[in-house]
Structure 1
Amino acid sequence: MGVGYQGLQFSLFGKGKGVSFDRTVMLGRQNHYLDAGTLHSMFERFGSPVTDAEVHTMLHHAYSENLFKQLGATKVDSIDASGYEGASIIHNLNDPIPAELQRQYTCVVDFGSLEHVFNFPGALKNATDLLADGGHLLSITTANNFMGHGFYQFAPEAFFGYLAKNGFTDIEIYMILYRNLPYWFRVSEPRQIGNRVELVNGEPVQMGILARKVEHRPQAAFPIQSDYHDAFWQRRDVDRKTEAPPVDPHVSALVQDLKAKIAALVAWPEMLSPHLTNGFENHLHYQLIDPAVEVAGVAHAKAGPALLSRLQKALGISTDTTTKPSAPPPVDKEPTHLTPVEEVEHRGVIIPIIPKVFSEQIIQAIRVGTYEASEAGELDALIQTDEVILEIGAGCGFISTYCAKNPHTKAVYSVEANPALIDVIRLTHKLNNVQVTLYHEVLAKESGEIDFYVHEDFWASGTHSFLGKPVKVKTTSFQQRLAEIRPTMLIVDIEGGEDGLFEGIDLTGVRKIMLEVHQPTIGRRGVKRLFDQLSAQNFHYDMWHSSRSIVTFSHVDRG
């Protein structure tokens, strides 16, 4: 119970949708799981940047009152069954709230309480009774794969149905993956589409509910599931099993095509599996949105087709695209004019801070010395005499510079796909007076070009990203680069692109491989494939130089 990444995002989304936090009550005193970098970057994403002083105030206490005051609250209460967390109102939500609490608040915030109350209908009635007319319910609760977390997991129709029958309008429900990701799935209302909205998936999913109260109802009215009421009882669907549910025809065609591409589907990165096999593939039921873009006034209907188009292209299905290829800059080009606001020395490397390229989270990590510190620490022990290093995924140029400054290094080559980073990397190399050969490309099985999705946080960019602006980047044969460079060591950090990178690649001559494994992106099967492919070429997991997601493989004979 508390405000984390998604709770903060949902609160800012609600404010952008017109929620008044003036008189806020929290169901359970909400603590928070936030840091300065997250607060700065999230408020900025939603067009409301905050100062360091305001961030300090929000983080001053372990509970969330100051966060909601930043969002406009003049009064913040909390209600709980006991006083162990300092709630301002002690009341068991299993029981009706007293009359003096009814219709007193402009916003009720529930980020993880309702599922813990056994009398859920009574607790939901209490939550709605707390609201004055015009007030908003703002809730994140459990949907799928949370068995045992609380008493219940919920279906969207429970909230669509109850709120619609009890004086609420503008009801919006979203499926929110239990990760720190900047996108959700808008849920269609079952009654409107004439079908159940179901979900079978392979990871925890939360449900966000936003609704506005327009009329107080003293007595609760309980809904009947819409397809039973509208179809079965009205005899419009005598034999439900014989009638196919309504689906988006484009997605239906995509699913049919996938049946013929089952081998490709098995190997597909699991970050996309929710959209293809885990229940979100029906675009009529679920529409992908970026909540920050949503409240900025961009039509939400654009998000779903954009994702569909990307999937079609990735799977070789013909689709029209107007994306223009961007020519890769020459390797020896001088950096264009960049104006860093400051230059920070991190582990002996001068890093230029470019606000338009670096997120606040990355800037903070550089300033405090945690940015890629694990990798740098292991490299001190890994780099041997006459090491030839190929770095795949150069970031801001820190690691390639760090390697080039090592006296045992013979040569460093770096590959980076993100066009926004090329001049930053060159500037980093220039400031540190190091010689690094830089390629603007994606290493793949064959030469050509590929869509690369550029996100405002460069660490979230990649070929496996959902959000961000697509640009065409040239691909170069990985095997060709290996033959030209003949590296003895590989350093790989490509945000999920490691899955499949080594398939069919001859790594003769390579002694060590340090890579960051992005399991949330490539999934457990992707991690297994990666280990299997390297093991097949006699690389073993090196426990002495691995830490959490930073994994080092050494060749059993050459390492």
Structure 2
Amino acid sequence: MAVDLVTLQELCALSQRFKPAGRTLMLGRHEWRPNPRFKRGFRTTWRKAGLEGSYLETVQDDGFCETLMASLGFGAMESLDFSDYEGATILHDLNHPVGEALEGQFDFIYDGGTLEHVFNVPVALQSVFRMLKPGGRFVSCNGMNGWMGHGIYQFNPELVWSFWKRMCGCKVHVCRAIETSPTEQGEYRLDFPDPAITGRRLRFRGINFPTRRVYLYYEVERLPESALGDRMLQSDYEVKWSSHNNAGEIRDVKAKEAEDGRD
């Protein structure tokens, strides 16, 4: 997938909050190609973020986005892919766990549309967690709605809160829907709350949710105390089950998982 104007806006905002100090990685190798339609939006977004340089200075001859990412302050990004047909620097099939050589190596990992093409998403997400350093951040921008037939999956905000926050103990900085093509009414962004706070699933009644393509965009941080658990429960069920007769058993399992993660 390619970086477009709406994802550029999110990356520009992130660049003002977070600067990785070490190695950085993208899943797949994403494009950033010259596009006359981008120039005006680029200038507005770039200047608003206080960044220097012109649009053409962020474009590289092969059409990929490493120069753009470096201009944003995200370092010399490496790329991980199944094949080297697009020039990836690390070859690995994300359907399988990464090896120890990649664990804890990266301060920043960016997925601009790769995980939706991976069948074994749980294994891929666990590998992303393992590759992050404590304090490192993972940013994902994959299809949520309107992408039928594009990849194997479309993603749900429930995955962000249940996997990253509760199963891994990471901090979720952003979890939102972004429409890929702004309309005359402006840009559509909708931030999703944690369903476990209310104990109810997300509802969209009364919300004019876009019918066009929408991304699920999120940013998560691996904390020093974060640990990969082996059980993920959907938020509303977890809240309901916590008051049932096996609640103590569930709490004991979670406490044991947390203790094992600290060892």
Deviation at 1:89, TM superposition (A): 0.6
Are 2:115 and 1:122 equivalent residues in the alignment?
Answer: no
Deviation at 1:14, TM superposition (A): 1.5
CA contact (8 A) 2:23 2:108 kept: yes
Q: 39, 46, 51: which is aligned to 2:42?
A: 39
- 2:77 aligned counterpart, secondary structure: strand
> Residue 169 of structure 1 corresponds to which residue in structure 2?
171
Write the distance in 1 (CA, Å) between the matches of 2:19 and 2:75. Answer: 14
Write the distance in 2 (CA, Å) between the matches of 1:219 and 1:73. Answer: 26
Write the distance in 1 (CA, Å) between the matches of 2:218 and 2:19. Answer: 13
CA contact (8 A) 1:21 1:71 kept: no
Write the distance in 1 (CA, Å) between the matches of 2:94 and 2:225. Answer: 19
Are 2:224 and 1:223 equivalent residues in the alignment?
Answer: no
Write the distance in 2 (CA, Å) between the matches of 1:22 and 1:94. Answer: 26
> Residue 99 of structure 1 corresponds to which residue in structure 2?
100
Q: Which amino acid aligns with 1:16?
A: Q
Q: 210, 226, 234: which is aligned to 2:243?
A: 234
TM-score, normalisation: structure 2: 0.80
**Cα distance, 1:77–1:115 mapped onto 2, change above 3 Å:** same
> Residue 71 of structure 1 corresponds to which residue in structure 2?
72
**Cα distance, 1:222–1:144 mapped onto 2, change above 3 Å:** farther
Write the distance in 2 (CA, Å) between the matches of 1:146 and 1:199. Answer: 19
Q: 188, 196, 212: which is aligned to 1:203?
A: 212
Write the distance in 2 (CA, Å) between the matches of 1:187 and 1:166. Answer: 19
Flag the structure with more relative contact order, 1 or 2, with Cα contacts below 8 A and sequence separation at least 6.
2
CA contact (8 A) 1:22 1:73 kept: no
Write the distance in 2 (CA, Å) between the matches of 1:97 and 1:223. Answer: 20
**Cα distance, 1:219–1:189 mapped onto 2, change above 3 Å:** closer
Deviation at 1:174, TM superposition (A): 0.5
- 2:116 aligned counterpart, secondary structure: helix
Deviation at 1:216, TM superposition (A): 7.0
> Residue 7 of structure 1 corresponds to which residue in structure 2?
7
Deviation at 1:17, TM superposition (A): 2.9
Q: Which amino acid aligns with 2:20?
A: S
Are 2:194 and 1:189 equivalent residues in the alignment?
Answer: yes
Q: 31, 36, 50: which is aligned to 2:52?
A: 50
> Residue 214 of structure 1 corresponds to which residue in structure 2?
223
- 2:143 aligned counterpart, secondary structure: strand
Write the distance in 1 (CA, Å) between the matches of 2:40 and 2:16. Answer: 21
CA contact (8 A) 1:166 1:216 kept: no
Are 2:180 and 1:178 equivalent residues in the alignment?
Answer: yes
Q: How does 1:287-436 map to 2 (within 5 A)?
A: none
> Residue 24 of structure 2 corresponds to which residue in structure 1?
24
**Cα distance, 1:224–1:155 mapped onto 2, change above 3 Å:** same
Deviation at 1:94, TM superposition (A): 0.6
CA contact (8 A) 2:169 2:227 kept: no
Q: Which has the larger radius of gyration?
A: 1
Write the distance in 2 (CA, Å) between the matches of 1:89 and 1:118. Answer: 19
Deviation at 1:157, TM superposition (A): 1.1
Q: Which amino acid aligns with 1:172?
A: V
CA RMSD of aligned residues (A): 2.3
Write the distance in 1 (CA, Å) between the matches of 2:99 and 2:227. Answer: 12
Listed as ranges, the gaps of 5+ residues in structure 1 are 237-559
Deviation at 1:218, TM superposition (A): 6.7
Residues 512-535 of structure 1 show CA distances to partners (whole Å, capped at 9, x for unaligned) of xxxxxxxxxxxxxxxxxxxxxxxx
CA contact (8 A) 2:170 2:226 kept: no
Write the distance in 2 (CA, Å) between the matches of 1:22 and 1:40. Answer: 28
> Residue 135 of structure 2 corresponds to which residue in structure 1?
134
Listed as ranges, the gaps of 5+ residues in structure 2 are 246-263
Write the distance in 1 (CA, Å) between the matches of 2:27 and 2:131. Answer: 10
CA contact (8 A) 2:112 2:141 kept: yes
> Residue 85 of structure 2 corresponds to which residue in structure 1?
84
Q: Which amino acid aligns with 2:222?
A: K
Write the distance in 2 (CA, Å) between the matches of 1:191 and 1:18. Answer: 27
> Residue 470 of structure 1 corresponds to which residue in structure 2?
none
> Residue 146 of structure 1 corresponds to which residue in structure 2?
147
Deviation at 1:22, TM superposition (A): 4.9
Write the distance in 2 (CA, Å) between the matches of 1:19 and 1:143. Answer: 27
Residues 84-134 of structure 1 show CA distances to partners (whole Å, capped at 9, x for unaligned) of 100111111111111111111111100101111000001111112221110
Write the distance in 2 (CA, Å) between the matches of 1:191 and 1:218. Answer: 19
CA contact (8 A) 1:14 1:138 kept: no
Deviation at 1:154, TM superposition (A): 1.5
CA contact (8 A) 1:19 1:136 kept: no
TM-score, normalisation: structure 1: 0.39
The 4+ residue runs of structure 1 with deviation greater than 2 A are 16-23, 33-39, 49-52, 180-183, 198-204, 215-222, 232-236
CA contact (8 A) 2:19 2:74 kept: no
**Cα distance, 1:224–1:19 mapped onto 2, change above 3 Å:** farther
Deviation at 1:57, TM superposition (A): 2.6
CA contact (8 A) 2:28 2:88 kept: yes
Deviation at 1:19, TM superposition (A): 4.7
Write the distance in 1 (CA, Å) between the matches of 2:67 and 2:119. Answer: 30
**Cα distance, 1:2–1:21 mapped onto 2, change above 3 Å:** farther
> Residue 259 of structure 2 corresponds to which residue in structure 1?
none
Q: Which amino acid aligns with 2:178?
A: I
- Percentage of pairs with the same residue: 27
